[in-house]
Chains A and B, each alone.
Chain A
Amino acid sequence: MGLEFLARVRRTALWVGLVAALVTATYAAPLLALGVALGAAWSLANLALLERLIVAITGAERSSLPSVRRAVQAVAGMLALFAAGGLLLRLLSPAALMAGFFIPYAVLVLKAAALLLLPSALWKRLTQDARLASLVVALLFGAAWFAVAPLRSASIAAPGHAAAATESAQATAGPAAPGAPAGEAHEAGHEKSEGPQKFPNLITVLHRAFPNAGWSRFLEHYEVILFALLVAFLIGLVARLATRNPQLIPSGLQNAVETLVEQLNDFITGILGERHAPRFVPFLGTLFLYIWAMNLFGLIPFMDSPTSNLNVTVALALTVFVYAQYVGLRGLGLVGYLDHLMGSPRNLTGWLLVPLMLPIHVLGELAKPISLSCRLFGNIFGEDMLLVAFVSLGITTLSFAHLPFGLPLQVPFLVLALLTSTLQALVFTVLSTIYILLMLPHHDHEPGHEAEEELLEHSPI
């Protein structure tokens, strides 16, 4: 995996970029195709230079002359690349350039997902039977077709809609109030772009039934918090039931919960090591179970996933961020913590690089909670929207018969949602574990931290 994986991503992204440029040239315009190709090339060059710079700065021979030379070359290359990027943005379509820019990242995501899927038992079961595999491929094609349908209809309807809005504005606008119809047209467009709503849950149903009651307004206002609290209560209840009467040879609920806890313990110990894991497994294990349960909660009828709300995911990510900083401060001390943020300079080159490394470290630390929260929110919200789209499609398909139900087209995506909910909880937990690990003393690389480790070992956290 590792660096070879990135090299494979680069090669694939190069080919995908070329194909995307050819397709754009054939079906759109040659200038747009040039934009896609140059965007992809810019992104690939940027990734290559970044890799070169980071290996030069953080590698084992970072203070040697060839490393410094490589770092300077990479920085000069990046400056030239940024200048070229600015020029390209002036000359070519920004949308085409951005499309090309994101190609390597899309390849990276798909390759990582494939890495996870291919060795799984689910994949083996699917590919054993040719008919089942064909059915899955057909379903995926159907899903892709219906997923892009709103985009296609929007792109087709947009010019007509705009023209109609302009015509209506011209028809109704008097010379005395030229701004008003344009504002109305803008508002109409805004309403049009709101998109599909989520499934109604118990609280929204109650709010619709009693819209003026104070308690229903209260429930509706604190809906997300109430669902999050309900999930926490249910997890607590399950834990209480599983441990109420513990047996030496477990069975039933106790057996299931013990298996889950053991798996989680093994998983986190694999990253943190036997020495540090016991102190962090309770926090990280609870985090996984809570996020997993919240992700899955939306699949229960009349319930909602609290993690499909950005406020909840930001709160979770901030909890991890604050805890990781606390672990860093507690373990390293204020001086050690600042030393860590400055990139642990130990020689002249290191101290000269402090003005560069300090903002890079601070930015990197700040980016962690943002990326954690946006990833979780985006995935769970997208999963909910996909289910809404397929339920609507199922109802529309049978609408000619005026039946009170539709085709259950969403069922395959419920299985997919189970998988992505688990995967996203796992990704959040793995990254939180890594962020905490990076804040622990660097015993792997730097000697002389035994005292700090001892201190950390006996801390109450």
Chain B
Amino acid sequence: MVDPPRKDRNSTLRSAGLLLAVPTLLIVSPLLGAFLGNLLDRRFGSGHWCAGIGLALGFAAAGRETYQLVRRAQQEEEKDRRP
């Protein structure tokens, strides 16, 4: 069996590395948003409003980062397909 050329192997490794990062980012960003919002809530005594907004912004940040990583993985795939 012939091994794939080195360039293709690197590309697969890069794509896998990028996609393995997605779950942690999706979890960390909302938690960080909620944590920072909670700190603001304690500071200003604003109930749970800042934590809620921080959570929502965290989810959005996670989505944005994920989108960037997935787009990068797609570029890797397109690079692979090119002759």
Residues of chain A whose beta carbon lies under 8 Å from any beta carbon of chain B: 1-3, 5-6, 46-47, 50-51, 53-55, 57-58, 78-79, 82, 105-106, 108-109, 111-113, 115-116, 119, 121, 124, 263, 266-267, 270-271, 356, 359-361, 363-364, 366-368, 370-371, 374-375, 423, 426-427, 429-431, 434, 438
**Chain B residue contacts of A121, Cβ below 8 A:** 3
Cα distance, A55 to B73, chains bound together (Å): 16
Nearest residue, chain B, Cβ from A428: B17
0/1 interface trace, chain B 9-21, chain A, CB 8 Å (1 if under)? 0111111111111
Residue contact B7 to A270, C-beta cutoff 8 Å: yes
- Tell me the bound Cα distance from A82 to B11 in angstroms: 38
* Residue among A3, A47, A113, A359 with max Cβ neighbours from chain B (10 Å): A359
Q: Which of A5, A51, A438 contacts B19 (CB 8 A)?
A: A5
- A361 lies within 8 A of B27 (CB): no
Quick check: B10 and A366 within 8 Å, CB to CB?
A: no
Looking at B1, B3, B10, B63, which has the most chain A CB atoms within 10 Å of its CB?
B63
Do B18 and A434 have beta carbons less than 8 Å apart?
A: yes
A117 to chain B, nearest CB (A): 9
Nearest-CB distance from B31 to chain A (Å)? 8
Residue of A nearest to B48 (CB): A86
B29 touches A2 (CB 8 A): no
Chain B residues with Cβ under 8 A from A368's Cβ? Answer: 25, 65
11 residue pairs bridging A and B, Cβ less than 8 Å apart:
A2-B74, A54-B66, A57-B64, A58-B67, A82-B52, A82-B56, A108-B23, A115-B15, A124-B1, A359-B57, A364-B65
How many residue pairs, one in A and one in B, have C-beta atoms under 8 Å apart?
151
B25 CB contacts on chain A under 8 angstroms: 367-368, 371
Interface size on B, residues (CB 8 A): 53
Verify B56–A271 contact, CB threshold 8 A.
Answer: no
Chain A residues in 8 Å Cβ range of B13? 116, 267, 426, 430
In the complex, what's the smallest C-beta–C-beta distance from B80 to chain A, in angstroms?
9
B23 near A430: Cβ-Cβ < 8 Å: no
B12 interface neighbour in A113, A119, A356, A370, Cβ under 8 Å = A119
Residues from chain B with Cβ under 8 Å of A79 in the complex: 56
Q: Which of A6, A113, A430 contacts B18 (CB under 8 A)? A: A430
User: In the complex, are the beta carbons of A375 and B21 less than 8 A apart?
Assistant: yes
**A116 (CB) vs chain B CBs: closest residue:** B16
Residues of A within 8 A of B23 (CB): 105-106, 108-109
Choose from B3, B4, B17 the contact partner of A426 (Cβ within 8 Å). B17
Q: Shortest distance in angstroms between B25's beta carbon and chain A's nearest beta carbon?
A: 5
**3 closest pairs, A vs B, by CB?**
A2-B74, A50-B63, A430-B17
Contact of B16 (CB < 8 Å), options: A78, A115, A266, A371: A115
Q: Which residue of A lies closest to B76 (CB)?
A: A1
Residues on A with C-beta less than 8 A from B4 are 119
* B74 adjacent to A78 (CB under 8 Å): no
Smallest distance from the beta carbon of B1 to chain A beta carbons, Å? 7
A263 to B5, CA, bound (A): 12
B55 to chain A, nearest CB (A): 8
* A427 and B52 form a contact (CB under 8 A): no
Partner of B64, one of A54, A109, A267: A54
